Amino acid sequence: EPEVTQTPSHQVTQMGQEVILRCVPISNHLYFYWYRQILGQKVEFLVSFYNNEISEKSEIFDDQFSVERPDGSNFTLKIRSTKLEDSAMYFCASRSLHRGPNSYEQYFGPGTRLTVT
Amino acid sequence: DQQVKQNSPSLSVQEGRISILNCDYTNSMFDYFLWYKKYPAEGPTFLISISSIKDKNEDGRFTVFLNKSAKHLSLHIVPSQPGDSAVYFCAARTFGSSGTYKYIFGTGTRLKVLA
């Protein structure tokens, strides 16, 4: 069964450093998402991406964040200058374009745990 | 501004009994509601969903009920099994400010099914 993969599984970085979190969505999916979950809190929407551009972003997704689909398979989230409060689990998700009973279902990756020290 | 609320952070149920997980929402523009299950160290996994035009959807042991007037939905698991022990997230879909869909998640309910 196709699945969303994410690398690395755990990233430790120092405050102020740049990090890039990588995701490989399911191959025929065309909508891509990043979410984060701070420990013990809810899953928060960050950004959605379709047709090579951001289609929606939350207030969390400020100028320190950017997303890219550099090569048609990877989908990356970059944080330019990490802050302590960026420490969280980051989930990538993808969704099919096609209509169907579960076409609105998002498939999530296993997540990358980002620890900013 | 918590548009999707799961007021019970945890729930314990005996194996074989019914588990009922609740979710309340405030935005009447949500058009789909979804339930996800999450095990530790894994991403959320889709379980079941319901359109806002329906009041019930059933899939095996899982049934979701929607009460639009009360802005409330619930997930019933019957019979509950130890493997159902996980965190359950309620999510709702709505249009974002740029006209595309976005998904709002609740805070989750940790279900523990006791053998």
pLDDT of A39 = 86
**CA atoms of A20 and B40, how far apart (whole Å):** 23
In Å, how far are A103, B59, B68 from B20, measured between CA atoms? 26, 15, 18
Partner residue facing B43 (CB), from A45, A102, A111:
A111
A104 lies within 8 A of chain B by CB: yes
Q: In this predicted model, what pLDDT tens digit does every residue of B44-95 receive, in sequence order?
A: 998 999 999 999 999 999 999 999 999 999 999 999 999 999 999 999 988 7
Q: Is the pLDDT of residue B99 over 80?
A: no
Torsion sign across C-alpha atoms A99, A105, A110, A114: positive
Residues in chain B: 115
Judging contacts by C-beta atoms under 8 Å, the chain A residues touching residue B106 are 42
**CA atoms of B42 and A15, how far apart (whole Å):** 26
A3 lies within 8 A of chain B by CB: no
Question: Exposure string (b/e) for A68-98, b if CB count within 10 Å is 16 or more?
Answer: ebeeeeebbbebeebeeebbbbbbbbbbbee
**CA atoms of B55 and B48, how far apart (whole Å):** 13
In this prediction, what percent of chain B has a pLDDT beyond 90?
Answer: 76
Gap from A71 CA to chain B (nearest CA, Å) = 24
Mean pLDDT computed over every residue of chain B: 92
Chain B window 40-59: which residues touch A at a Cβ cutoff of 8 Å? Answer: 41-46, 49
Q: Is the pLDDT of residue B20 over 90?
A: yes
- Identity of residue A42: K
pLDDT of A54 = 92
Cβ separation B89–A55 shorter than 8 A: no
10-residue mean pLDDT profile of chain A (117 residues): values are 90 97 92 91 90 89 93 92 96 78 76 96
Probe site for chain B from A3, A104, A112 (most B CB atoms < 10 A): A104
Cβ pair A85, A105 in contact under 8 A: no
Cβ separation B98–A4 shorter than 8 A: no
